Amino acid sequence: MEVEVNAEAKDKRLNQMVAITVVFLSVFMGVCNIKDGNLVQAMQQAKSDSVDRWNEYQSTRIKLHITETARDEMTVLAASAAPQTRASADAALKRLGDDISKYEASAPKLSGEAKAFDAKYDALNIHDDQFDASEALISTAISMAAVAALAENMMLLLGAWVFGAAGVFMGVCGFAGWGFHPDFLSLLS
């Protein structure tokens, strides 16, 4: 009977360690998922802003091209126009020139804004990858801990702690804004 009590005490201790591990990792993963959700929303906004700016840039470049073509045609027509219509042609040419200047000035600004939104998206994506890696590692750790309890195997629990520690590290990297990126995980497919 003494042997049975010792075995039950040993199992209870392992199960308590598994329970504490699962609770800690689950809570940490939940908090990371909240932050990751906010991060994904910010990434979507940055991508949307980028697409909007690139569309505005393309629109500006098209308007510039059309206005330059109209100016060139107006210049040719004005050269052969009667003197009384020359004044209105000159006014139209001035308006076209002003529009061309406006489009030439705004195109680089729009391009720069679009590139800035792209850079913001890329920076946010690094942290999204960190949270994704954290979730994968912690999910693996929780699964290993569950199997450790079923199999009554301390080595599996130690393995779960290794995966859990790596997952917590990746989550802390995401929260702290550290640049550590799990490239090796991202390249797996």
Domain containing residue 34: CATH number: 1.10.287
pLDDT above 70: residue 99: yes
Q: Is 120 within a domain?
A: yes
According to the model, what pLDDT value does residue 81 have? 76
According to the model, what pLDDT value does residue 20 have? 96
User: Tokens standing for 106?
Assistant: 């705004």
Query: What's the length of the chain?
Result: 189
For the stretch 55-94, pLDDT in tens is 999 999 999 999 999 999 988 888 887 877 788 888 889 9
Q: Is 35 within a domain?
A: yes
Q: Is 188 within a domain?
A: no
The number of folded domains in the chain is 1
* Domain span holding position 107: 2-182
Q: Is 26 within a domain?
A: yes
Q: Is 119 within a domain?
A: yes
What is the distance of C-alpha 58 from the center of its chain?
24
Q: Is 118 within a domain?
A: yes
pLDDT above 60: residue 3: no
